[in-house]
Amino acid sequence: MPGPAVSIRDVASQAGVSVGTVSNVLNRPDIVAASTRNRVLAAISELGFVPNDAARQLRRGRGRTLGLVVLDVANPFFTDVAKGVEDATGAAGMAVIFCNSDGDSAKESRYLDLLEEQRVQGVLITPVDDANERLVRLRERGVLVVLLDRRSTRPDVCSVSVDDRLGGELAMRHLVEAGHRRIAFVGGPWRLEQVRDRCHGAVHALREAGLAEETLRRFETPSPTVAAGRDAASRILGLPRSARATAVFCANDLLALGVLQELTRQQVRVPEDIALVGYDDIDFAAAAAVPLSSVRQPRQRLGQTAAQLMLDEANDPENHRHKQVIFEPELVVRESSRYARTPG
Amino acid sequence: MPGPAVSIRDVASQAGVSVGTVSNVLNRPDIVAASTRNRVLAAISELGFVPNDAARQLRRGRGRTLGLVVLDVANPFFTDVAKGVEDATGAAGMAVIFCNSDGDSAKESRYLDLLEEQRVQGVLITPVDDANERLVRLRERGVLVVLLDRRSTRPDVCSVSVDDRLGGELAMRHLVEAGHRRIAFVGGPWRLEQVRDRCHGAVHALREAGLAEETLRRFETPSPTVAAGRDAASRILGLPRSARATAVFCANDLLALGVLQELTRQQVRVPEDIALVGYDDIDFAAAAAVPLSSVRQPRQRLGQTAAQLMLDEANDPENHRHKQVIFEPELVVRESSRYARTPG
DNA sequence: TCGTCGGGCTGAAACGTGTCAAGGTTATCC
DNA sequence: GGATAACCTTGACACGTTTCAGCCCGACGA
């Protein structure tokens, strides 16, 4: 049933010109005479010709696609980032191959193989771990690489990130100022740099306030998801009340929502009994049972900027200067941490 | 800097065999002698050879990618569907090109062009409107098409959907039984079939209960988003209290969350003053300010099944029977609609 | 009239792979 | 020992583009 595929050659003969001319109409319309051009265009639409990108790519060396590898599609943070990427690439007529590593480095690796076989122009990636050795190899083979939501340690690769340490500081300073002296940090897996940085920022704020590091107790989670958050909350509630944290800072909003669910289920009031601060300020944070305080990141701009950086390098590789863009996060205080704690 | 691209030919000479043999090692390893095979594999890893999928695709006619076109990436419903798709395709070594039509049919059309140029094996799509004329053309050119979350009217195209009318019925029956006699339906744009079906189902349940159709009042929204939900809620609250609905049924959870936010902001209690039922049962529904009653759909299975249907057809086009899979939704009652209304 | 110039167009050569008929080698059987 | 079969391997062609050297032809200047 699939009618015979129509190629540039069919168009050529229908229009009474050579294949070269058809190709020119497609790629450099200005150098072909108007009358010829119209004849070709007519033939194209008459035959319903659709250029074969594989052939073009084969000839040109690289294609019109780019890969986006994120840690979790189900996390609204990343879907917003993806939207930003799409904005920038759609305008440039590029296709995005969306890959979900799920925080699993084997899966990440498989996807990178796939992208390499596709000869993508470049890869925008939030790597699972720091071992970017694989990414360096990619670059050497001519695949552009931009780190997403992760600061590059190497000067020869672009990155777009948000200052996670600062974010951690903002959250923790807020809690300390409200009088909290036993605070839990919920986040993980620890191998994620974002988690570590946010925690380190929090510790820094603690020191700054002249408090002991033990003020902050860490609860590591196997994944940054709602379910893991619920689990962490029940661990926190397992402690005797006198030793229990009076505030919880979560490495992202999914965790925070999970914590909130479990606290509520166990009749612990937020923020009266335990205050709560999340991270990312996803749209659902504001709609939560108790509207969630959170550290806001410019999610969409993150994606846009990363894509733009890659497109810039693709269009003018010669005098492209690798950049490390760092955005600043912003604390949004809502119900979940609003009331100051009376010390005790 | 990008080292010279290494092709199958380089591998062949390095291993001392012909290119045909290398190709065989890659595609039908069983027909080549073990010793030769090992020699070739050694050469491959030594040279760091990565097959060029564009060339393969050019030769074979169709590639290893498939397109997924959804209405809104930011909607957790679709990200869960996408996860299902990914499960099924990842196992088959396929790449997914993720496209976001944003409910805009021009954007949808642009993406279909792109996918056609990529010579994708097939397209999984939740179309913006019913004018699937474009999709029929796609099929005629040999691109597999599976409708996603939309029932196919044509017998010659697969579809995977959930019975939206039934979903609407379930929700409405629940509200009617709780005693509500002035109910609002919030959903839109009306052009989306899902929205219409859910509404029709609701109307059906009304008739079934012997109630007048005017019992249900429709509020159309420009998009099925949180913001649109807030807006609809303030329209509902604009009515005098005596004429105002005592329950709201929303075409999806994003709308419901928006409605909930605005009701809360205007000090209207849920469910005491107004009961609320959403649709999709996204994870955030249970975590909302007031846990949301919702109609649950098997999101991930939806995606999995659609992808599987397409793979089946791709692998054995001859005796593939087009299917119309229809799942059944399920009502999940939570806080937001729990208390029966005392009539009046 | 001849030479030169340049805009438009042509035609063939790649790009990297899959496929397939044909060839070559070795084992098997009478 | 020769025929047959079984098994591997080869080499050339095709896939649909882009690119580029070169051709044709009309215009222009001398």
Instruction: List the single residue in A with minimal CA-CA distance to B285.
Output: A288
- Residue A123 clears pLDDT 50, i.e. is over it: yes
Instruction: List the single residue in B with minimal CA-CA distance to A79.
Output: B74
Across all strands, nucleotide nearest B20 (CA–C1'): D10
Instruction: List the single residue in B with minimal CA-CA distance to A253.
Output: B284
Using a CB-CB cut-off of 8 Å, the residues of chain B touching A292 are none
Chain A / chain B CB contacts < 8 angstroms: 145
Does residue B275 contact residue B212 with C-beta atoms inside 8 Å?
no
Does residue B186 contact residue B229 with C-beta atoms inside 8 Å?
yes
Q: Rounded to a whole number, what is the distance in Å from the CA of B214 to chain A's nearest CA? A: 31
Phi-psi domain of A225 (left: phi exceeds 0; alpha: psi -120 through 50; beta: other): beta
Does residue A314 contact residue B288 with C-beta atoms inside 8 Å?
no
Residue nearest to nucleotide C10 (CA to C1'): A18
Using a CB-CB cut-off of 8 Å, the residues of chain B touching A99 are 95
DSSP code of B208?
H
Of the candidates A79, A90, A119, the beta carbon closest to that of B53 is on A119
> Count of CB atoms within 10 A of residue A311's CB?
20
Domains present along chain A, CATH in parentheses: 8-51 (1.10.260), 64-162+299-326 (3.40.50.2300), 164-297+331-337 (3.40.50.2300)
Tokens of A340: 């100051």
Q: What is the arithmetic mean of pLDDT over A319-340?
A: 93
Rounded Cα gap, residues B296 and B162, in angstroms: 10
Q: Is the C-beta atom of B31 closer than 7 angstroms to strand D?
A: yes
- Residue A87 clears pLDDT 60, i.e. is over it: yes
How would residue A1 be classed by pLDDT, with cut points 50, 70 and 90? low
Q: Decide the pairing of beta strands A216-220 and A247-250.
A: unpaired
Query: Which run of H or of E encompasses B261?
Result: helix B253-265
Cβ contacts, strand C, under 7 angstroms? A 16-21, 24, 31-33, 35-36, 55, 58-59; B 5, 7-9, 19-20, 23-24, 26-27, 49, 51-52, 55-56, 58-60
CA of B192 to C1' of C23 (A): 63
Tokens of B122: 């097939």
Q: Is the dihedral of CA A240, A242, A243, A249 positive or negative?
A: positive
- Provide the percentage of residues in chain A whose pLDDT is more than 90: 85
Tokens of A166: 């600062």
Instruction: List the single residue in A with minimal CA-CA distance to B82.
Output: A73
H helices of A48-94, in order, are 53-60, 76-91
What DSSP line would sit under A249-307, residue for residue? EESSHHHHHHHHHHHHHTT--TTTTSEEEEEE--HHHHTBSSPPEEEE--HHHHHHHHH
Listed in order, strand segments (DSSP E) in B11-141 are 65-70, 95-100, 122-125
Q: Is the C-beta atom of A5 closer than 7 angstroms to strand D?
A: yes
Listed in order, strand segments (DSSP E) in A71-128 are 95-100, 122-125
Q: Which of A64, A98, A223 is the best residue to mutate to test the B interface, defined by the most B CB atoms within 10 Å of its own CB? A: A98
Lowest mean pLDDT among A35-39, A81-85, B58-62, B296-300: B58-62
Does residue A260 contact residue A234 with C-beta atoms inside 8 Å?
no
Using a CB-CB cut-off of 8 Å, the residues of chain A touching B290 are 289
Using a CB-CB cut-off of 8 Å, the residues of chain A touching B50 are 113, 116-117, 141
Does residue B235 contact residue B248 with C-beta atoms inside 8 Å?
no
Residue A156, pLDDT score: 84
Interface residues 52-111 of B with strand D (CB < 7 Å):
55, 58-59
Rounded Cα gap, residues B278 and A179, in angstroms: 39
Residue B1, pLDDT score: 54
Side chain identity, residue B259: V
CA proximity to A337, closest of A183, A196, A165? A183
Q: Is the C-beta atom of A24 closer than 7 angstroms to strand D?
A: yes
Residue A54, pLDDT score: 95
- Residue A48 clears pLDDT 90, i.e. is over it: yes
DSSP code of A178?
T
Across all strands, nucleotide nearest B35 (CA–C1'): D8
Per-residue burial over A48-78, b = 16 or more CB atoms within 10 Å of its CB, e = otherwise: ebbbbbbbbbbeeebbbbbbbbbbbbbbbbb
Instruction: List the single residue in B with minimal CA-CA distance to A261.
Output: B287
Residues contacting A183, CB < 8 A, separation 6+: A172, A175, A176, A202, A215, A216, A217, A245, A246, A247, A248, A249
Q: Is the C-beta atom of B24 closer than 7 angstroms to strand D?
A: yes
CA proximity to A48, closest of A11, A1, A13? A11
Rounded Cα gap, residues A285 and A294, in angstroms: 8
Phi-psi domain of B191 (left: phi exceeds 0; alpha: psi -120 through 50; beta: other): alpha
Q: Rounded to a whole number, what is the distance in Å from the CA of A166 to chain B's nearest CA? A: 27
Tokens of B195: 């929205």
- Residue A329 clears pLDDT 60, i.e. is over it: yes
Q: What is the arithmetic mean of pLDDT over A105-111?
A: 93
Q: Which of A97, A109, A281, A318 is the best residue to mutate to test the B interface, defined by the most B CB atoms within 10 Å of its own CB? A: A97
Nucleotides of chain C in contact with protein CB (under 7 A) are 7-21
Q: Give me the sheet containing A95-100, strands edge to edge.
A: A324-327, A158-162, A144-148, A122-125, A65-70, A95-100, B95-100, B65-70, B122-125, B144-148, B158-162, B324-327
Partner-chain contact A82 B76, CB within 8 Å: no
Of the candidates A48, A93, A118, the beta carbon closest to that of B95 is on A118
CA proximity to A277, closest of A308, A321, A245, A305? A245
Partner-chain contact A289 B284, CB within 8 Å: no
Q: Rounded to a whole number, what is the distance in Å from the CA of B61 to chain A's nearest CA? A: 9
Rounded Cα gap, residues B63 and A124, in angstroms: 23
- Residue A330 clears pLDDT 50, i.e. is over it: yes
- Residue A162 clears pLDDT 50, i.e. is over it: yes
Q: Is the C-beta atom of B21 closer than 7 angstroms to strand D?
A: yes
List per-residue pLDDT tens for chain B, 344 residues long: 566 789 999 999 999 999 999 999 999 999 999 999 999 999 999 999 999 999 999 999 888 999 999 999 999 999 999 999 999 998 888 999 999 999 999 999 999 999 999 999 999 999 998 767 889 889 989 999 999 999 988 888 899 999 999 999 999 999 999 999 999 999 999 999 999 999 999 999 999 999 999 999 999 999 999 999 999 999 999 999 999 999 999 999 999 999 999 999 999 999 999 999 999 999 999 988 899 999 999 999 999 999 999 999 998 888 899 999 999 999 999 999 997 665 54
At B300, give phi and psi (nearest 5°).
-65, -40
Q: Rounded to a whole number, what is the distance in Å from the CA of A205 to chain B's nearest CA? A: 30
At A168, give phi and psi (nearest 5°).
-60, -40
CA of B28 to C1' of C27 (A): 24
Q: What is the arithmetic mean of pLDDT over A250-260?
A: 97
Q: Rounded to a whole number, what is the distance in Å from the CA of B295 to chain A's nearest CA? A: 19
pLDDT per residue as tens digits for the range B163-216: 999 999 999 999 999 999 999 999 999 999 999 999 999 999 999 999 999 999
Tokens of B300: 């991930």
- Average pLDDT of chain A, as a whole number: 93
Partner-chain contact B96 A97, CB within 8 Å: yes
CA proximity to A297, closest of A143, A155, A200, A166? A166
Residue B153, pLDDT score: 85
With 0-12 / 13-18 / 19 or more C-beta atoms within 10 angstroms meaning exposed / middle / buried, residue A186 is buried
Rounded Cα gap, residues B62 and B59, in angstroms: 8
Partner-chain contact A1 B82, CB within 8 Å: no
Residue nearest to nucleotide C20 (CA to C1'): B20
Q: Decide the pairing of beta strands B275-280 and B324-327.
A: unpaired
Using a CB-CB cut-off of 8 Å, the residues of chain A touching B51 are 117
How would residue A328 be classed by pLDDT, with cut points 50, 70 and 90? very high
Instruction: List the single residue in A with minimal CA-CA distance to B74.
Output: A79
Rounded Cα gap, residues A11 and A13, in angstroms: 6
Rounded Cα gap, residues B277 and B245, in angstroms: 13
Higher local confidence (pLDDT), A254 or B340: A254
Instruction: List the single residue in A with minimal CA-CA distance to B257.
Output: A287
Q: Rounded to a whole number, what is the distance in Å from the CA of A190 to chain B's nearest CA? A: 24
CA proximity to B202, closest of B229, B167, B252? B167
Q: Rounded to a whole number, what is the distance in Å from the CA of A171 to chain B's nearest CA? A: 22
Rounded Cα gap, residues A291 and A297, in angstroms: 17
Angle at B272 between CA B268 and CA B278, to 5 degrees: 80
Q: Decide the pairing of beta strands A247-250 and A183-187.
A: parallel
Q: HSE, CB side, 13 Å, CA atoms: give it for residue A11.
A: 28
